Structure 1
Amino acid sequence: MVPVYNVADYVAASLDSILHQPLREVCGIEVIVVDDGSTDGSAEIVKEIAATEPRVTLINQPNCGVSIARQTGIDAATGDLLTFVDPDDILPRDAWSSMVRSLRRTGSDFAVGSAERITIENGEVRRYVTPLMRRNHTRTRLRCRIEDAPLMLADVFVWNKIFRRSFWTDNAITFPERTRYQDQVALTQAFLAARAFDVLPDVVYDWRVRSDFSSATQKRAQVANLVERITTKRQTVELVASAGSPNLMRTLRTEILPIDMWEHFRAAVDPTTEDPDRYWSLLREAVLELWYDAGVPFEETTVPRGQRLMARLVAEDRRDDLADLVTMIDERGPARAIEAFSSRECH
């Protein structure tokens, strides 16, 4: 399932990578593309491809957001298995075979593979795996339950997985509407609902980081971005709390919820940030609510020391000190900056 909105520069290559997947483990594929009201010619590109490629089905709808676009595609799907591709990304040469083989062998509800982030710097392609992705995919683990592998809750991406479609629909897994961070809620639902899932070390997805800074995760300085991120974290906390597992909740608060907060800490003292007073107020409220008021001070999280120090300054309403710390980190590097800042605190 491919949701499309104004990705004319990317969508043809993305679909090409899908259509050239080897079908060693499946008898066929249906590629359902939902154009969500594009205005840049994306739909026309897909229409041309679909005219000569019967495996591609194009559905057009008014702009409703990626969550509704994905749901439209899910409703139209007829196959036994379900997977997702973002239209600005590329699949590796053989993305699906290992996951399909694993599902056939284990009967699990879904399989999860690793992913590499792709950046282009000065014309050179760079590939890397994020630290949590690396930790979660060091070895094969079959028929896992989330209690056995709680850190998998950090794997909040929909596109590096293959689901049994019946599992998805029977458990009414949904993407929250009108938010840039819809994957985390849906994937938390999936991990909590699964009787079993398979974790594989194979790289099954190439995650492109756009150089034009147009992706959702590259707009941290917007108030709306912060609000949506906080809302998603609150929804995730509610879902995990309903599971009644202290172990899962502890993992969520110490290892998963904090991992992207440093970008918002930095944005809070960036001179270009939108409505800085409101941004600071919302950020501070969230830090207090999600960690300190919940009995898990940010100092107990597993993120690097500098990020923990940033959070403490936010919690203590010390915006000027946070700005000083960020400047020191940029000028001296984290270790020397933290040492200098801590020394200043002692005097």
Structure 2
Amino acid sequence: MPVHDMAPYVERSLDSVLAQPGVDLDVVVVDDGSTDGSGDLVAAYARRHPAITLLRQDNAGVSAARNAAIEQCRGEFLTFVDPDDFLPARAWAPMLASLERSGSDFAVGMMERVDEGGRRRRPPLLARNHAEARIGVDIDAAPLMIADVFPCNKLFRMDFWRRAGLSFPVGVSYEDQVFAADAFLAARRFDVLTEVVYEWYIRGEMSSATHRRGRIDNLQDRIVTKQMALDRVRAHGNPVLVDTLVRQVLPIDMWEHFRAAVAPTTEDPDHYWSLLRDAVRSFWHDDTVPFELTEVPPGQRLMGWLVAQDRRADLAALIAAIDGPGVPVEDGRYLHPWRDEPGVPAVLGEVSPGR
């Protein structure tokens, strides 16, 4: 468990970990340079619960914290919990049972997003991937699993982790995409379960997250980690997996940066735009798949096409129209002003309002 300034949440998270029945636990918590007393809270908690080991380090990021914790782990199985999330009752039981039966390298369970009001939601792609159990598959048999980038809904055999040389890339955000690609590509087989094994807590702090999307370093990290994942998948040599990654997985979160590119708070807007435009052109083109043919909602595909066409003012107008009142809609479709313009792909003639 990596901890950085999570004092309001970390004890609840640890409570849910220690409440898991039927397991001999070794809980390694890394205080990653907290300034809010999180480390002291964990230290006091650890004095009451000898299963917990606390490590302290200067702030180096979540990847460095996780890597440091893994070096201290000596158990048969390895999993991760973030300090603001929590586990359902018997979270690990279905994964342990499945691995005992299958002998697979790791198991992957379903996650639910839980907001501050207790409302639950299953992200659509996660729901698709976990609609049915699949035991002892590999990534070529289940290519869309490459989208499941989360470390916390997985239970690994430690000997597999060591043998594969897995770790989290240090110094970048969005490190989970690279870690997940490495794990899925290295596994001889893994188990996909339908049970909910992790509660992903959504805090009401989206404004700060949105602001971070508009920073140059944040966009650069997004581009770098997407390229790292793509390089690994290409080296694997399965064109179906490459197409799945480019068509269905890599575009998923780009809408955040399309919106940030025309937001008033974006850092160095001209540089941000050129980085974003060049990235879209690099990942999505006729030799892979143009962004307008990716499998994200139509509004996002139109945004990506406008970026690739270097139409910054039109992107701003599109987002303002979608967000504003009185959007012209016909039969549930937003009739954008460029739909009859020569050169606009037919698939972008009308798009659904929304992201």
TM-score by length of 1: 0.94
Q: 3-state DSSP class of the match of 1:39?
A: coil
State the match for 1:268 in structure 2: 261
Please give the root-mean-square deviation of Cα atoms over the aligned residues, in Å: 1.8
1:3 alignment partner in structure 2: 2
Residues 152-175 of structure 1: CA distance to partner in whole angstroms, max 9, x if unpaired?
000000000000011111111121
Q: Are 1:57 and 2:57 matched, yes or no?
A: no
Task: Give aligned-pair identity as a percent.
Answer: 53
| Structure 2 SS opposite 1:75 | helix
Unaligned runs of 5+ in 1: none
Distance 2:269 2:156 in 1: 41
Superposed CA deviations along residues 224-255 of structure 1, whole A, max 9, x for unmatched, are 11111111000001000110110100000000
Q: Does 1:34 align with 2:30?
A: yes
Aligned match of 2:42: 46
- Tell me, in whole angstroms, the C-alpha distance in 1 between the residues paired with 2:41 and 2:288: 52
Aligned residue pairs, count: 340
Q: Which residue of 2 aligns with 1:20?
A: 19
What one-letter code is carried by the residue in structure 2 that aligns with 1:289? S
* SS in structure 2 at match of 1:289: helix
Q: Which has a greater percent of helix?
A: 1
The amino acid across from 2:289 in the alignment is V
SS in 1 for 2:161: helix
Which is further off, 232-241 or 62-71? 62-71
Matched with 1:318 is: 311
TM-aligned CA distance change 1:215 to 1:143, over 3 Å:
farther
Give the CA deviation at 1:181: 0.8
Q: 1:340: how far off?
A: 3.1
Equivalent-residue separation in structure 1 for 2:237 and 2:95 (angstroms): 30
Whole-angstrom CA distance in 2 between matches of 1:72 and 1:214: 31
Give, in whole Å, the separation in 1 of the partners of 2:131 and 2:328: 29
Task: List gaps (5 residues or longer) in structure 2.
Answer: 345-355
Moved more, 38-47 or 286-295: 286-295
Aligned residue among 227, 239, 247 for 2:220 = 227
User: Corresponding residue for 2:101?
Assistant: 105
- Give the alignment of 1:290-301 within 5 angstroms: 290-292=283-285, 294-301=287-294
Q: Give the superposition deviation at 1:271.
A: 1.3
Query: What is the TM-score with the length of structure 2 in the denominator?
Result: 0.92
Helix, strand or coil: the match of 2:337?
A: helix
Distance in 2 of aligned mates of 1:170 and 1:275: 44
Runs of 4+ in 1 over 4 A off after TM superposition: 214-218, 333-337
1:202 equivalent in structure 2: 195
Look up the SS of the partner of 2:6 in the other structure.
Answer: coil
Contact 2:110–2:195, Cα closer than 8 Å, also in 1: yes
Distance in 2 between residues matched to 1:35 and 1:333, nearest whole Å: 51
CA drift of 1:345 comes to 3.5
Distance 1:137 1:291 in 2: 27
Partner residue of 2:80? 84
CA contact (8 A) 1:328 1:337 kept: no
